[in-house]
Structure 1
Amino acid sequence: MLHILRGVDLTVHPGDHVAIVGRSGSGKSTLLNLLGLIDRQTTGDLLFQGHEVSRLSDRRRARLRGASIGFVFQQFNLLDGRTALENVMMPMMYGTARQFWGREKAAMEMLDRVGLAGRAHQKPNRLSGGEQQRVAVARALVRRPTLILADEPTGALDVTTGEAIMSLLDEIARDSDAALVTITHDLQVARLSHRSYLLDGGVLHDVDTSAAHSALAATEGIRAGREAVGA
C-alpha cells in the first residue's frame, strides 16, 4: 500500500486562512481532496463543523460538499460550452430555492467583484488564462461557502491580478466567516495567510514562510541533483 500522507494533524477554524506549501508530489493535492470530501482517508478521523464525515455515504458527502465547500481548481475546470456567467451560476442550480431563483444576479455580482462583468457572456475559449482563473474563483465563492479550498489560485495570473484575487478570497472568507485553505508554490501567496505549513514526505510541518522557503529550496535542490545524476 502506498502511504501518501502521514502524521497530518490540522485544524482550521472559521475565518482562518491557512497556506500549505510543498514541492510537487508531496501530497498537497491528496490533502486538498480529503479536506474537500472528494477522497476518503484510509485511517484517522476527519471532522467537518464538528461532525465525523468519513463514514457518510457518497450522496451525503456530495450534498455537504456542494452546500459548504468552494473549490478553486488549478486547472479551472470550466464548462467549455457555457459562458462565464453560466459557469458561475452552475453551483446555485443545486442550492436552495432562493439561491436558484437569484442565481443570475448573484453570479453577475461575483463576476463584477473579480473584474469580469464585461466578459460575462464570453465562453472560456474566448477568455485568457487569467480571466478563466477569475471565473473559477467567482464560481467557487458565489454560494458563500464555509470552507474555501484554493489550489494554486494565482498560478495563471500576473502579480497585480494575483494579489487582487488573494485579497478577494480573504475578503469573502472574512465577510462569510469562512475558512480558507490555499495550496501554493508561491511563498508570496503563503505570506498572506495567518498560518503556513510545509508538506514534506507526507508529513505536515508547522513553519513560517521563510523556513518553508529554505526547506522547499533544499528539497528541490536534492531532486534536481538526483535527476542530473540519473540523466
Structure 2
Amino acid sequence: MTVGEPLAVLTKVTRSVVLPDHGTLQILTGVDLTVYPGDHLSIVGRSGSGKSTLLNILGLLDVPTTGLMTFAGEPVERMGEKRRAQARGSAVGFIFQQFNLLAERTALENVMTPLLYARGRQFWQRERLAAAMLDRVGLGSRLHDRPSKLSGGEQQRVAIARALVRSPQLILADEPTGALDIATGAYVMDLLAEVAAESGAALVTITHDPKVAALAQEHFLLQDGQLEPGLRVAA
C-alpha cells in the first residue's frame, strides 16, 4: 500500500568500511529504495550480502558513505547524531536477530524502555502499555521474569513487544521468526502485520524464510551490493 509522502528514500546509497590492512570493503554499491507508510517489504539475500547494513541505514543507526537518503522528508546527511537518535527513538521500531535485551531487567522493564523517552500519555502510562503489548505476544504471565528465565522464543517475543510498544512509523525486523517454532512464527508475523496496519506503519523484514518473505507486498533480493526488485502484490 502506498500512502502520501514517502517515509524513507534511498538514492544510489553506498556503504563501505576501511579494513585493518587499509583496504576497503564495499558492502552496498548503489541501493535505490523508497518506503511509503503502510508498505510491507521483504529483503532476502545470502549471508554477508549487506542486509543488516541496509536495515541499519534505514533505521538511522548508520549513515551512507555516499548517495542520498531522506527520512520523513529530512535529508539524513544534514542530521547530526542527536537528531538521528531523536528520529530513531520516536519513529523506528527495531527487532534485532540477537534480541539485545537488558539482562538485569524484567520483560516488563525491557518493553518499557523505549517509553522512557516518550511524552504525554505514552510516558505516564508506560507500564500499562508495556504490559498490554507483552500480553499481545502471549507473555502476559511472564512480565516479571528476566531474560535468563525465558526461552529463546520468549526472548524474541519480548524484543518484538519492545519494538512495537511505541507504535512506530517504521518497523524493521531482522529475521523476526528465527528463534520461533512454526506456529509461533506465523502468529508473530500476523501480529507485526496487524500492528503495522493499525498505525499505518511501514514494515521491512529481512529473512531467509521464503514463507515469511512471501507475506510481504513487495520483495527484494540484495546481491552484489544492490537491490533487485521482485513482484509487488496488490494490497
Q: Does the 8 Å CA contact 2:43/2:51 hold for their aligned counterparts?
A: yes
Q: CA deviation at 1:208?
A: 4.0
Match for 1:134 among 153, 157, 160? 157
Correspondence for 1:196: 219
The within-5 A match list for 1:104-115 is 104-115=127-138
Amino acid at match of 1:161: T
SS in 1 for 2:29: coil
Q: TM-score, normalised by structure 1?
A: 0.89
Q: CA deviation at 1:52?
A: 1.1
Match for 1:150 among 173, 176, 181? 173
The within-5 A match list for 1:3-14 is 3-14=26-37
1:183 equivalent to 2:195? Answer no
The separation in 2 between residues aligned to 1:54 and 1:190, in whole angstroms, is 31
Q: CA deviation at 1:97?
A: 3.1
CA deviation map 1:27-53 (0-9, x unaligned): 001101100101110111111112212
Q: CA deviation at 1:184?
A: 0.6
Amino acid at match of 1:116: L
Q: TM-score, normalised by structure 2?
A: 0.87
CA deviation map 1:87-139 (0-9, x unaligned): 00000001113211100000011001101001111100000000000000000
The share of aligned pairs that are identical, in percent, is 63
Amino acid at match of 1:73: F
Match for 2:54 among 31, 40, 49? 31
1:55 equivalent to 2:51? Answer no
Correspondence for 1:79: 102
Amino acid at match of 2:56: N
What is the root-mean-square deviation in Å for CA atoms of aligned residues? Answer: 1.1
CA deviation map 1:119-175 (0-9, x unaligned): 111100000000000000000000000000000000000011001000000000000
Structure 2, unaligned runs of 5 or more:
1-23
Match for 1:160 among 173, 183, 192? 183
1:21 equivalent to 2:44? Answer yes
Q: Does the 8 Å CA contact 2:32/2:227 hold for their aligned counterparts?
A: yes
Tell me how many residue pairs correspond in the alignment.
209
Match for 1:93 among 111, 116, 126? 116
SS in 2 for 1:119: coil
Q: Does the 8 Å CA contact 2:137/2:188 hold for their aligned counterparts?
A: yes
The separation in 2 between residues aligned to 1:2 and 1:123, in whole angstroms, is 39
Higher relative contact order (CA 8 A, sep 6+): 1
Amino acid at match of 1:9: D
Q: Does the 8 Å CA contact 2:39/2:202 hold for their aligned counterparts?
A: yes
Structure with the higher helix share, 1 or 2:
1
SS in 2 for 1:205: strand
